[in-house]
């Protein structure tokens, strides 16, 4: 199995974690996703780990020369869509940093190209595989809270000093599509319901000189069957906080309430008195499962359809916030 990296900006660690111990995997090439992107330190990291990687200036040359089984797309977020299209054109399987695209037209083009192809594609919605989210999701699938009715999800990050490309909508894509998309994915994944509408707002105020970057955002989704869910997103987590991020979800259903908070899972339902802390189950590794799918002996929890649909939901939420109106899903 030959792997190439296009860009070194996103969550490349999913790949390095997922290939551990797999002797049939070879990282063969790396190229930036755009001219501005610096990938030298990641190349050094790969070399230090003993991978013999050839560096290219142009990712298309790399794809044509190496013909990788999987292209890992992790460049500036605003360029993913174009790069993914180039990969599908070359019949290359794609593991791509979310969102899949930052523009609805580009997303539609990718969907169409994907449907005509026989490739595998997954976006890096890797938080599904963390033990806390996976354990909570399994419990909900097993009926722990009955029918899902109301969901509240949170993404909170430290801001720090971000690279220049975060400061432009063109290269960054927006906080709802880049950060919020995880939580939007959880709402869809936990409830299993289709999106009906979204109302969202976001704000760049007090973003500490980060240009277009929205530092706070709030989304209100409705789903089929009168299920509803909110997503709150911020970069307001202080540097003194115990962790970089504070991912949470709370799901209230007809039989109970489950929560993910600080890496733990809490459940109250009629099966037991009081708050139960659930023992964590391993969710595995997203890239290991994606490779198994490419090899024809497995299935990644994040399907191509999920990747497109959740990207669409994030883009519609961003549109709602930009245009200050409710957007209905078609």
53 phi, psi to nearest 5 deg = -110, 130
Q: Which member of 21, 50, 242, 296 binds its own copies (CB under 8 A)? A: 242
Among 29, 81, 173, 256, binds its own copies (CB under 8 A): 256
Contact between 274 and its own copies per CB under 8 A: yes
Rounded to a whole number of angstroms, the minimum distance from the CB of residue 184 to its own copies is 15
Out of 275, 282, 299, 323, the only residue in the binding site for its own copies (CB under 8 A) is: 275
Size of the residue set binding its own copies (CB under 8 A):
49
- Provide the minimum distance between the beta carbon of 310 and its own copies in the complex, in angstroms, as a whole number: 20
Residue 257 to residue 149: CA distance in whole angstroms? 10
159-218 positions binding its own copies, by CB under 8 A: 199, 201, 203, 205-206, 215-218
Distance, CA of 158 to CA of 175 (rounded, Å) = 13
Beta bridge partners of 4: 29, 71
Alpha helices in the chain (DSSP H): 13-18, 40-48, 59-66, 80-89, 104-116, 131-141, 169-172, 175, 181-191, 286-294, 304-323
Q: In 3-state terms, what secondary structure has residue 202?
A: strand
Residue 119 CB burial class (10 angstroms; 0-12, 13-18, ≥19): middle
**Smallest distance, Å, CB 220 to its own copies?**
4
Q: For residues 91 and 328, which CB has a smaller minimum distance to its own copies in the complex? A: 328
- Secondary structure of 101-163 in HEC code, one letter for each residue: CCCHHHHHHHHHHHHHCCCCEEECCHHHHCHHHHHHHHHHHCCCCCCEEEEEEEEEEECCCCC
Member of 41, 52, 161, 273 binding its own copies (CB under 8 A): 273
Give residue 146's Cα distance to chain centre: 27
Q: Which helix (H) or strand (E) holds 263?
A: none
Q: According to the binding rule CB under 8 A, does residue 272 interact with its own copies? A: yes
Report 48-107 residues binding its own copies (CB under 8 A): none
Residue 240 found at the interface with its own copies (CB under 8 A)? yes
Stretch 132-151: interaction string toward its own copies, x if CB under 8 A? ---------------x-xx-
Minimum Å distance from CB 217 to its own copies? 8
Query: Which one of residues 48, 57, 105, 239 is an interface residue with its own copies (CB under 8 A)?
Result: 239
Query: Least CB distance from residue 66 to its own copies, whole Å?
Result: 45
Greatest Cα pair distance, the chain, in angstroms, is: 62
Note the residues at the interface with its own copies (CB under 8 A): 147, 149-150, 152, 154, 156, 199, 201, 203, 205-206, 215-218, 220, 222, 225-226, 228-230, 232, 234, 236-242, 250, 252-257, 268-275, 324-326
């Amino acid at each position: 199995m030959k792997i190439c990296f296009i860009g070194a900006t996103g969550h490349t660690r999913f790949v390095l974690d997922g290939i551990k111990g797999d002797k049939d995997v070879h990282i063969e090439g790396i190229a930036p996703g755009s001219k501005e992107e610096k990938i030298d330190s990641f190349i050094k990291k790969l070399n230090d780990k003993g991978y013999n990687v050839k560096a290219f200036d142009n990712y298309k040359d790399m794809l044509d020369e190496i013909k990788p089984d999987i292209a890992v797309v992790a460049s500036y977020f605003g360029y993913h869509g174009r790069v993914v299209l180039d990969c599908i054109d070359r019949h290359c399987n794609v593991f791509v940093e979310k969102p899949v695209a930052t523009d609805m037209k580009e997303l539609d083009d990718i969907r169409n190209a994907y449907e005509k192809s026989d490739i595998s594609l997954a976006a890096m919605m890797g938080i599904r595989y963390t033990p806390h989210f996976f354990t909570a999701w399994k419990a909900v699938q097993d009926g722990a809270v009955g029918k899902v009715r109301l969901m509240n999800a949170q993404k909170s990050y430290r801001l720090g000093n971000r690279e220049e490309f975060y400061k432009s909508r063109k290269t960054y894509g927006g906080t709802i599509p880049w950060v919020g998309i995880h939580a939007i994915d959880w709402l869809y994944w936990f409830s299993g319901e289709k999106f009906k509408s979204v109302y969202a707002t976001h704000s760049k105020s007090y973003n500490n000189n980060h240009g277009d970057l929205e530092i706070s955002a709030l989304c209100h989704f409705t789903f089929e069957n009168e299920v509803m869910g909110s997503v709150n997103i911020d970069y307001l987590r202080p540097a003194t906080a115990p962790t970089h991020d504070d991912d949470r979800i709370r799901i209230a259903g007809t039989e109970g309430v489950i929560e993910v908070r600080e890496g733990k899972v809490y459940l109250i339902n009629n099966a037991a008195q009081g708050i139960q802390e659930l023992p964590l189950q391993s969710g595995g590794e997203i890239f290991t499962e994606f490779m198994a799918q490419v090899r024809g002996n497995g299935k990644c929890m994040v399907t191509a359809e999920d990747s497109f649909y959740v990207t669409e939901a994030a883009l519609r939420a961003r549109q709602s916030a930009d245009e200050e109106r409710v957007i209905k899903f078609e």
